[in-house]
A and B are shown apart, each in its own frame.
Chain A
Amino acid sequence: MANDIIRIKNARKYFGHVQALKGVDLEIGKGEVVLVIGPSGSGKSTLLRCVNRLEHLDEGEIWVEEDCVTSPHANIRKIREEVGMVFQSFNLFPHLTAAQNIALAPLAVLHESKATVEERAKALLARVGLADKAESYPDQLSGGQQQRVAIARALAMQPKIMLFDEPTSALDPEMIKEVLDVMLDLAKEGMTMMVVSHEMGFARAAAHRVVFMDDGLIVEVGHPSKLFSTPKEERTKRFLDHIL
């Protein structure tokens, strides 16, 4: 498709003798929300981390818009400005307040004015429902609050794509919803999202496609309503039986 914003071609990745990705092809369109599911060790997080080159592919190509991420000549920092990422363990900067966490990259990377960035940080905190937590340090926030600040931090760079690496896996059950609500809002606003997660509720509500990966390969791709109820592949069915 012409308006694909992420294009993954024949992605292969080894960790020592273990092949984590065995030739993955995937295109994600602009504004599309794609959920990647699969058993642990299936390569789903590795695939996600290759998109902003936190991991290097051994073979294959990944394109973000017109830039080849996997090229040695890629201006990877420029690409990362366009690709926000949210981690399972939040990875907020513990020595900075919530507002400072959000403001750091726009100040240091984009060299925006302090007033602009502070204004945006405030707006983003309000957007994730934490307007009153600007001066709080990460260790003063609950897991759900930390993850929402982390989302706001990624959004502060005004990215075109958001990557989510199991954003709710480290959260207590009662905090999962507050994070998913923020993600749902993002999806509704048309953000392109690649989400590694097993949150079926989120998938049904927001995902355009669900990708099932196993053993370093994409096994099946489909609309959530179809893939969850009538999976074509036996492996998909078995996996879904386990987690549903």
Chain B
Amino acid sequence: MPVVVMTDGLLVPGSDKGVLSAWNISFFGAIVVILALRFLSPSPNPYAEIFAFVPSGLSATFGVTIVSFIFALILGLLAGLGRIAKTKAINLVATTYVEIIRGIPLLVQLFYIYYALGPLLHLKGPASAILAMSICYGAYLGEIFRAGIQSIPKGQMEAALALGMSRTQALWRVVLPQTVKIILPPIGNESIALLKDSSLVSILAVSDLLRRGREYASTTFNYLQSFTVVALIYLIMTLFFSRLVGIMEKRLRTHGKRHN
């Protein structure tokens, strides 16, 4: 049966050759457009104002993304280990977590934690945002960890156990180091998806890139200009990071095939 492989945030395959590649057109095109808008627009030029106002949201966007991603990695590793645990109870908890979280839209989870649980937990916007994003992405990363660990041949664990190592030692010293190599590309992919999804937190009173754009637009009614800049900044960031992930993936692939 044919298999369809979809990627989220990674390079679009098949159009990555030469100067006129899709990535080059999108990435450098976006940079040219953004610079042109800023410096070549006829006056009155609202873009000078937009560029003074909107990019300050970048720190919140990156802050939420990075902190959430770190927590999500920890949760994901725990969930992934739980999913392959021999202890039934642990396995059940991890699997239930993954099933529930993956079955609820991220936006609903954000609302739930901010509006429904926020008052009970005394959480402010940024804390709610980070909590919701971490829990959500932890479930997705957990499945990547699980798949990665399970892709390591059983003989590796057996060889480690036969040498007298504990399961924990075998996991940390033998299985996980090999897993990391395999899952780095999909993990990088998820980090880009998380960067994009972080725009959802703009509705939780977090002054991220999108919210700054909205705030500017609603006071000046320059919706077109403001959201054009926001969209271009997101585009440049995600294209940049997906290229980074692509390079990393290529390196890992060639590094994995050492030959004399």
On A, residues with C-beta under 8 Å from B are 52, 54, 77-78, 80-81, 83-85, 87, 89, 91-95, 104-105, 108-110, 136-137, 139-140, 150, 153-154, 157
Q: How far, in angstroms, from A150 to B181 measured CA to CA in the complex?
A: 23
Partner of A80, one of B153, B163, B260: B163
Let me know if B159 is at the binding interface, CB within 8 A.
yes
Which chain A residues border B260 with CB–CB below 8 Å? 136, 140
Q: How far is the CB of A179 from chain B (nearest CB, A)?
A: 17
Q: How far, in angstroms, from A76 to B108 measured CA to CA in the complex?
A: 49
| Partner-binding segment picked from B18-26, B76-84, B99-107, B166-174 | B166-174
Q: Kindly report which residue of chain A lies nearest to residue B163, judged by CB atoms.
A: A105
Partner of A139, one of B155, B162, B169, B258: B258
Which chain B residues border A154 with CB–CB below 8 Å? 162-163
Q: How far, in angstroms, from A80 to B167 measured CA to CA in the complex?
A: 13
Q: How far, in angstroms, from A91 to B158 measured CA to CA in the complex?
A: 8
**How many inter-chain residue pairs (CB < 8 Å) link A and B?**
68
Let me know if B13 is at the binding interface, CB within 8 A.
no
Number of interface residues of B (CB under 8 A): 22
Q: How far, in angstroms, from A85 to B165 measured CA to CA in the complex?
A: 13
Q: Are B161 and A81 in contact (CB under 8 A)?
A: no
Q: How far, in angstroms, from A224 to B163 measured CA to CA in the complex?
A: 30
Instruction: Tell which of A81, A95, A150 has the most Cβ of chain B within 10 Å.
Output: A95
Partner of A109, one of B158, B164, B258: B164
Q: Kindly report which residue of chain B lies nearest to residue A88, judged by CB atoms.
A: B155
Q: Kindly report which residue of chain B lies nearest to residue A77, judged by CB atoms.
A: B164
Q: Are B162 and A54 in contact (CB under 8 A)?
A: yes
Q: Are B159 and A108 in contact (CB under 8 A)?
A: no
Let me know if B122 is at the binding interface, CB within 8 A.
no
Known: A89-B155, A91-B155. 8 other contacts (CB 8 A): A77-B166, A80-B161, A84-B163, A93-B174, A95-B177, A109-B163, A140-B259, A153-B163
Q: How far, in angstroms, from A87 to B155 measured CA to CA in the complex?
A: 8
Which chain A residues border B257 with CB–CB below 8 Å? 139
Q: Mark B160-194, 1 if CB is under 8 A from A, else 0.
A: 11111110010001100110010000000000000
Q: Are B156 and A104 in contact (CB under 8 A)?
A: no
A105-B164, A108-B165, A153-B163 are known contacts. Are A91 and B156 too (CB-CB below 8 A)?
yes
Partner of A137, one of B160, B165, B173, B258: B258
